[in-house]
Amino acid sequence: MGRSIADLAELCAKVEAEPGKKRKAELVGSFLASLEENEIGPTVLFLLAQVLPESEDRSLDVGYRTVRKAVRSGQMTLFGEDRVSITEAYDTFQRIARAEGAGSRRTKEALLSGLLSRLGEMEREYLLRSLSGEMRIGVNEGVMLDAIARASGVDLETVRGAHMLMGDVGGLAALALSRGGPGLRAVGIKVFTPIRPMLAEMASGVDEVIAALGTAAFEFKLDGARVQLHKEGGEVRIFSRRLTEVTGSLPEIVRIAQTEIQADRFILEGEVVAYSDRPLPFQDVMRRMTRVHEVVGSSQEVPLRLFLFDALLIGERELIGTPCQERWEALQRVAPAHHLVPRIITSDAKEAEGFYRTALEQGHEGLVAKDLGSPYTIGKRGRRWLKIKKSTSLDLVIVAAEWGYGRREGWLSDYHLAARSGESFEEVGKTYKGFTDEEFKAITERLLALRTSETRHVVQVRPEIVVEVVFDEVQRSPKYPSGYALRLARVKSIRDDKTAREADSIETVARLYEEQFRTKGRLADGSSG
């Protein structure tokens, strides 16, 4: 029958009890090496609390109420003698994700309760942890890649390199264990397989950028949704930064890729921005990105513009290893100028500042500065790309919310905001500012679907919703275990294009706190008062 959920739960208990990452990786690697090929991917996803691959356009859509009902129903059934296999459990998750339409909620609940009823207490606990997105056994993506390297006998750098190109860590593990080093080294860019995007670090201003990069390309930082355009022959597919396909929501961008880009095969990267006479808020972009019905009417209501800024593949030529400027020149040869992001190259601070002011005046966020010689570093955030924004902001995760009062009565409003800290999250503030009444209502429904527990006033939720938070400064605070709090925080937008793993880290919060003292004084004891 293969390995069972009981075997997997025993592994989880052993891994959770081990304090060291090396030993955790050894245990996971040994287990992976014992699996059949069709068990490897589901096991990896289970341990990482992903359940379904990141690129999967469906989700389980199983909220707190559904889980609670399923647990009650499952507990009413006596445990059987049969063992639930890993592949059987994964097949159940697939069926839950596929359930749609009238009665789908009852179907999902019945499938989940049926599965839970056949599990022992420890198996049930770890399965529910995985469903909640919080395994808390110390296996993050880094530990998993180490485990895959150990299980397959392939060096870690080769595993990491293949992972950046594949994205799907479950599929990566299956490939590594079945085909080893040669299989991973053969992994390359493939059209219609989305690639993890290169990311930029925050910079305090133009002077910092020029000190770090010298002569650099400065591009408008747009308040839109990052996309990858893939084309081969007559077929075009578009992917979000989360690697999810969004082709059906963006018909006008598909037409541009089919008719205006002068190449039959490519992977290009850009930003989709909602526009009238000026850029519209990010939330309007996301309304379009998530629309699957009435797309034609939506495209008239929220028109989009495409701005391209990078080329990863054109024709048969892979470009990720070539310098930034070469990739730009290749992009210029196939894309019309009106679909390219505004850009200058300079080492002159005055010229860059003027370009920055122009970007802000035209309704954009700021600038992204790029090292002209930098290759495309897949899935990495580094100092080769630096972003300059008018307001300081962080991408944080909502981990809890409080019931409002007065005008906000009946809505979850005061949102507990947290930065990433390893596998967990540390709170750095709260805010109820930034939403309209309609947005309060909508996010209340979303948060209740993610509820894990609650008291009279506070609802704890799975850390899944990422919000961009603008604030005035970072303060020292004894109130939060993190030691930091954001002053005058307000939500700028909901970043549905980002996962909780892409939220800013507590180390970034600490760095922003220290950077404030470039222009401010500091008390003698080193605190901010």
Terminus-to-terminus CA distance in the chain, angstroms?
Answer: 63
Q: Is 184 exposed, middle or buried (0-12, 13-18, 19+ CB in 10 A)?
A: buried
Catalytic residue among 14, 24, 190, 221: 221
Distances (CA, A) of 125 to 5, 6, 120: 11, 11, 9
Q: Which amino acid, one-letter code, is at 116?
A: L
**How many angstroms separate the CA atoms of 509 and 528, rounded?**
14
All residues at 6 or more sequence positions from 509 whose CB lies less than 8 Å from its CB, including other chains: 394, 419, 428, 474, 482, 484
Query: What DSSP string runs through 170-190?
Result: HHHHHHHHHHHHHHHHT----
Dihedral angle, C-alpha 193, 58, 115, 462, nearest 10 °: 100
**How many angstroms separate the CA atoms of 438 and 294, rounded?**
20
* Cβ atoms < 10 Å from Cβ of 379: 14
- The answer to whether 44 touches 33, Cβ cutoff 8 Å, is no
- The answer to whether 83 touches 6, Cβ cutoff 8 Å, is yes
Catalytic annotation on 190?
no
Helix (H) or strand (E) holding 347: none
Place of tokens 């050894």: 26
Catalytic residues: 221
